[in-house]
Structure formats: C-alpha cells, structure tokens
Amino acid sequence: MIHGPCGTLNPNSPCMREGVCTKQYPKEFKEKTEENTNGYTMYQRKYTESVRVGRHDLDNPWIVTYSLCLSKKFNAHINVEVCAFIKSVKYLYKYVYKGHDAASIRFENEKTLDHDKILLFLDGMYVNAPEIMWRLNEFNLSEKSHTVVRLAVHLPDQQAIVYQDGQEEEAVARSAARQTTLTVWFELNKNDQDSHNYLYTDISHY
C-alpha cells in the first residue's frame, strides 16, 4: 500500500497535476490523528526509517491508509479512510447512484436523421437485479413526504412582481390587489387572536 512515488521522485506520475500530487502525497509526519479543515483526516504517521522500494527509498509519508484485516481477507489493495465530512459522503453516494454508462452511435450518409427517441431509450436502458426485484414486487419507486410552501418575505409594497415586456403597468396594478403569504399573515394576526400563538413558519401547518 505505497503511493507513487511521485513529486520530485517521479514528476511524470499519473497523479501529478501542475507539479503537485492530486492525492496530496507525501503526507506529513504526525504524532497523533487530526481532522483537517477540508474534511480529510490527517492520520498518525510516526517517523520511520526509510526502506528501499524499487529505485527509491520511501518512508511512512508514502504509505496509503489501509485496513490490514481487509487487505489480508480479500488479498487486494484496499484504501480505507474515515468519512468525516459531507463531501466524503457525497462522493460515496455519487458512485453508488450514478448508474450505468451507455452510448448509442449511428453513422448515416443522409443529411437529415430520423431519431427514434423511444428506441434509443430502450436500447440504452439498463435495469439491474435489485431494481427488477423492486418492480416485480410493485414497490413504490418514488413518494412525496410533505408539501413545501414557500413563504414570502418582503418590505411593505415591495413584493416580487412577474411581468412580460411592455406589460409593466398591468403587472403593478395586479400586484396591488394580490396578497402574498406575508400580507395574509398580518391580516390573520389582526383579526384572529388565536393565531398569535403560532410563528409565521408554522401558519401553513396549523
């Protein structure tokens, strides 16, 4: 589980971009594990004597974080790090849900192409085993948990107005008679004493 080497030892390494390692190797020596500002954990890396690996002498900063148990069990190189930041979670879910890659290409001499979008969709469609099981059992593929109500926030007579070019005056006249969620809330508080028990954000629920 040794990275590279890269940097000054091997400037042509695939991980190098503009003279810097994209994987941030070699790492720094650390007496204890720390969490970095960008969410990557800075693992403990005690000072060790360098050993000869290929043509280079490498030490602890070049070691990739790993689980000895997993590496031995699966006889493979397995990089293991703590997910301590939302970007790490996003990175994992992106790979889980990104789906398959597919491309449909057709070469024709005609100037105009008659694209059959339905056929292209069917040719490029891929359904994996879990999705087949889900569909066969007629489980819901999507659901709505709750309604989202956007509450207006504006100063007096400064609510948002949507208009077409050349129809500005008509839009202003319509907005004068139209109420927003904020103006209705003020009216409700004026006429209903019980509404004083609820915040503006709670009114749509109650």
Each residue's pLDDT tens digit, 47-58? 888 888 888 888
Average pLDDT over residues 29-51: 80
Instruction: Give the integer Cα–Cα distance in Å for 206 and 196.
Output: 12
Strand 20-21, strand 16-17: pairing? antiparallel
Best CA proximity match to 82, nearest among 92, 93, 73, 95: 92
167: which 2 tokens? 């129809």
> Is the pLDDT confidence value at 1 over 90?
no
Question: CA-to-CA distance for 83 and 91, rounded, in angstroms?
Answer: 10
- Give pLDDT tens digits for 172-190: 888 877 889 999 999 999 9
pLDDT digits (tens, 9 = 90+) for 75-134: 998 888 876 666 666 666 666 666 666 666 777 776 666 778 888 788 777 777 888 898
At 168, is the pLDDT very low, low, confident or very high (cuts 50, 70, 90)?
A: confident
What pLDDT does 94 receive?
67
Give the whole-angstrom CA distance, residue 134 versus residue 130: 6
- On whether the pTM is more than 0.85, the answer is no
Helix, strand or coil, per DSSP, at residue 193: helix
Of 38-47, 73-82, 148-157, 164-173, the one with minimum mean pLDDT is 38-47
Say what the pLDDT of residue 189 is.
Answer: 92
* Whether residue 24 has pLDDT greater than 70: yes
Tokens describing residue 58: 């490498």
Lowest mean pLDDT among 63-67, 122-126, 148-152: 122-126
Contact criterion met (CB below 8 Å) for 46 and 29? yes
| 151 phi, psi to nearest 5 deg | -95, 130
HEC sequence for 92-160: HHHHHHCCCCCCCCCCCCCCCCCCCHHHHHHHHCCCCHHHHHHHHCCCCCCCCCCCCCCCCCCCCCCCC
Q: What percent of the chain has pLDDT over 70?
A: 84
